[in-house]
Amino acid sequence: TPSRDVLLGTLKSTGNPHAHGRTHSSTEPLPSSATPASQALPAPEAPPSPAAPNGHTVTIRLVESTGSGSQAELSSPVLPLDTLIHSDLLERPGTPAAALDLNGFEIATYLTKAPDLLAPAAAQTSPAPVPAAGQARPDARSAAEHGQLELGPTVEPAQPVYSRYWLHNKGPAPLGYLPISIAVGPDLVASPERPFEVEVVLSSHLTEEPHEGIVDIRVPDGWAATPAQRPFRLAPGGHLRFPVTIDPGAATPPRRGLHFVAARTHVGGQVVEDVTTVAVGDGPELPVAGPPPESAIRGTTSADARPTGLSVTPVTDTLSLRPGDRTSLSLRLTNTTADEIHGETQLASPWGTWAMLPQVIQGFTVPAGETIDVAFPVNVPADAPAGHAWAMAKVMWFGRCQYSPAIRLEVSR
């Protein structure tokens, strides 16, 4: 198959224990009648899953990108690819795959045997130790000793992870599926003249195990939170809510502008947080009474966006490239609030361009009143054809979601 005509969309251990509220991989092989993605859905009549000495399988998902149909060929030094069987999005086994013939834009799923090094070795090893809140995750050697060798990312590249991820237009939950979520409210506190109260809510989405941790309250410099920390223990499916008093400081009036109060906790090797905005004085970033401003209702046809506290500007609107080039696509972020802003940026671009954009997610921190550049590497494959495409940056922070203008990516030979 010509390069990039068929793309590898998924290579993973079959099944999804996180979706069932578990913190470790299932240690039981998938029976032929199992429905890995949802036990509530009946499994159709199907031949047995690929037989493997360890009883486990690997899921492979291919995407045809030309629209004209393609025949794919797969090779692997560790996976047995001569026993592929068809599957579906729920990873239920189907019929043997004699050839990898894909229709235009087809997304095809297959199952195959898992080599011993990928199988959870529950029968031979003890469970891996779970790190306490704030501790580092076990290293690869320790994980391998417990049959939990990590072959890819297991945490988000940008930390902390925003708990109400849907406000960032992110789609699925972050890596790890947020076994513990945290929320702080209200979303906005306007013109506080004396100490005020926010409420923190913790929820466990685990179905089998309790969870212990600590909530840390982050406030702007010179402010105080009571309590500043709160230990907690949640039963499976449990929740906890508690008040926190925020004192902006009577001796030194807080600077006018937007400030941010965050509640954070460690879970699964990640920091999960939610944020309340505190507005001191009036500002253009605040909601306005009455009809929405014209810039808000015109959407992408508006030349000016409503102020948010963070301006997003591409450093250049076009990248002129040649095969083999190594450069970067830069985004300029300016913080106009009175407090630090951190978040993540993510590039969106069409199928077929992903090979030249190897790192599309970047975390960022912008101090109050300052400007930084966020650079995404651009590596043009040596066999890239001439043509042009686009890339657009999405900037997400504290429940806000902003989009940059599209940047033209032009490759000439």
The helix (H) or strand (E) run that includes residue 257 is strand 257-267
Q: How far is residue 198's CA from residue 243's CA, in Å, rounded to a whole number? A: 6
Domain housing 397: 304-411
pLDDT for res 41: 37
Q: Are residues 181 and 267 in the same domain?
A: yes
Half-sphere exposure of 172 (CA within 13 A, CB side): 7
Dihedral of alpha carbons 28, 33, 36, 39, sign: negative
Q: Are residues 96 and 165 in the same domain?
A: no
Question: Quick check: is 365 in a domain?
Answer: yes
Q: Are residues 1 and 116 in the same domain?
A: yes
Q: Are residues 328 and 276 in the same domain?
A: no
CATH number, domain at 50?
A: 2.60.40
Q: Are residues 18 and 113 in the same domain?
A: yes
- For residue 388, the 8-state DSSP code is E
Query: DSSP letter string over 135-202?
Result: PPPPPHHHHHHTT----S--S-SSSSEESSGGGGT--SPPTT--SEEEEEE-SEEES--S-EEEEEEE
Written in H, E and C, the secondary structure of 169-186 is CCCCCCCCCCCEEEEEEC
Q: How far is residue 362's CA from residue 412's CA, in Å, rounded to a whole number? A: 28
Examine the fold and report which residue of 212, 245, 280 is the final residue of a domain before the chain moves on: 280
Question: Quick check: is 404 in a domain?
Answer: yes
Q: Are residues 203 and 104 in the same domain?
A: no
* C-alpha closest to that of 76 among 100, 60, 55, 53: 60
Q: Are residues 74 and 165 in the same domain?
A: no
Question: Quick check: is 138 in a domain?
Answer: no
**Contact partners, residue 128, CB within 8 Å, separation at least 6:** 24, 138, 142, 143, 146, 147, 148
Supply angle C-alpha 97, 102, 103, rounded to 5: 135
Q: How far is residue 266's CA from residue 273's CA, in Å, rounded to a whole number? A: 9
pLDDT for res 154: 85
Question: Quick check: is 299 in a domain?
Answer: no
CATH number, domain at 386?
A: 2.60.40.10
Q: Are residues 262 and 182 in the same domain?
A: yes
Do 329 and 346 touch, CB atoms closer than 8 A? no
Question: Quick check: is 354 in a domain?
Answer: yes
Question: Quick check: is 214 in a domain?
Answer: yes
Examine the fold and report which residue of 229, 247, 280 is the final residue of a domain before the chain moves on: 280
**Contact partners, residue 133, CB within 8 Å, separation at least 6:** 212, 213, 214, 265, 266, 267
Examine the fold and report which residue of 104, 120, 136 is the final residue of a domain before the chain moves on: 120
Which ranges of 162-298 does DSSP label H, i.e. alpha helix? 294-297
User: How many structural domains are present in the chain?
Assistant: 3
**Contact partners, residue 211, CB within 8 Å, separation at least 6:** 179, 180, 204, 233, 234, 267
Q: How far is residue 351's CA from residue 269's CA, in Å, rounded to a whole number? A: 31
Long-range contacts of 87-90 (CB under 8 A, 24+ apart): 87/59, 87/111, 89/37, 90/35, 90/36, 90/37, 90/38, 90/41
Q: Are residues 274 and 311 in the same domain?
A: no
Q: Are residues 311 and 273 in the same domain?
A: no
What tokens were used for 238?
A: 């449990």
Q: Are residues 241 and 353 in the same domain?
A: no
Q: Are residues 111 and 22 in the same domain?
A: yes
Question: Quick check: is 128 in a domain?
Answer: no
Question: Quick check: is 131 in a domain?
Answer: no
What phi and psi, each to the nearest 5 degrees, are found at residue 217?
A: -105, 120
Taking the chain (413 residues) in runs of 10, the rounded mean pLDDT of each run is: 80 78 50 35 45 69 91 88 90 91 94 71 40 40 50 88 94 89 95 90 94 97 95 97 91 84 96 96 77 70 81 94 95 97 96 90 97 97 92 96 94 92
Residue 77 Cα distances to 1, 74, 136, 168, 397, angstroms: 19, 11, 32, 39, 41
Do 3 and 383 touch, CB atoms closer than 8 A? yes
The helix (H) or strand (E) run that includes residue 378 is strand 371-379
Q: Is the pTM of this model over 0.95?
A: no
